[in-house]
Structure 1
Amino acid sequence: MSRSFFLDRIGKKGIFRRTGRTSGVRISRSPFSLRGGFRFGLYLAGLSALVLMGPWSVYAHPPGDVKLSYLKDQQALQVTITHSTPFPGSHYVKQVQIQKNRDKPEIYEYKSQPDKSRFVYVYKMTLADGDRVDVKVFCNIYGTRTVSIVMPSPSAR
């Protein structure tokens, strides 16, 4: 067999190894060859994603509870949010959207949350009988929670 035969085989199949016999050459695939390397790269990328995202998935969760109440004397909507996190500067409620009836929602952005578990935001808003308010609260890592309140009409009281 000629030297070019072995070079052709190396280029197409992978690395050749001598078997100890004078006439035998064994061709083996390396996990780093072009075809095997692609699979290895996918495996490595998947493993890296699990390792890097694993700790965040433990902490990533939507807000636990959102309670709404209307403070009639102050003409304000009180939003009490429960979102427990050990790191309120890096895992927090990033946005609160308030939509009155079918109007365009008001959006309030935040860069951290004031407490590690429960906190209250108060928004100036005039509500009349029969008005509906939808509040959507967004976690900066994962999840949302939506709640609604309808102001009772005088006949329902």
Structure 2
Amino acid sequence: MLTAAVAFALTAAGLAVAGLRAHRRRFRSATRWFAVALLPAGLYLTGLFPLARTIAHALGDWAAGVVLDPRVWTGIVLLAVSAGLLLTTRWVGRRSVSESESRPAAAGPAPARPAVPGTPARPPAGAGATGAPDAAGPGRPAKGGKRDDGLGGDFADIEEILRRRGI
């Protein structure tokens, strides 16, 4: 019975604070207070207070056992070693991936993949077939004529205007 009185008293106090907040036109804060105020009554009516008491008692017994029982300390050490091994393997895996990306591949550059599935692959802008930048520089056609940028010449006039303006 005392639990019910405390739960409903907390709910009433929270509702009073929510009402004051709403009176001051702080509606977001009032809504938060209202939501928190409903928790004690909801926990009591669903019967979760006795469950919380049981969980707290079990955790207290476990904590007392941790201090005195060497078997529990062995379990804690095993959990720490397991977590350390998992974190270390993850760190080494990420490190090896980053090192392999920074080193050039022995077999040559990877083939260019299309940005959208179903479109033909093309080399990056400003790169020739070998992956090296063109002699004329990026955005300029190679000495042999027009470059194949995959646009089919649709934007040739726009490219010319931008080139004249230095963009």
Report the structure number with the largest CA radius of gyration. Answer: 2
Same fold (TM over 0.5): no
* Higher RCO structure (Cα 8 Å, ≥6 apart): 1
Q: How high is the TM-score relative to the length of structure 1?
A: 0.23
Structure number with the higher strand fraction is: 1
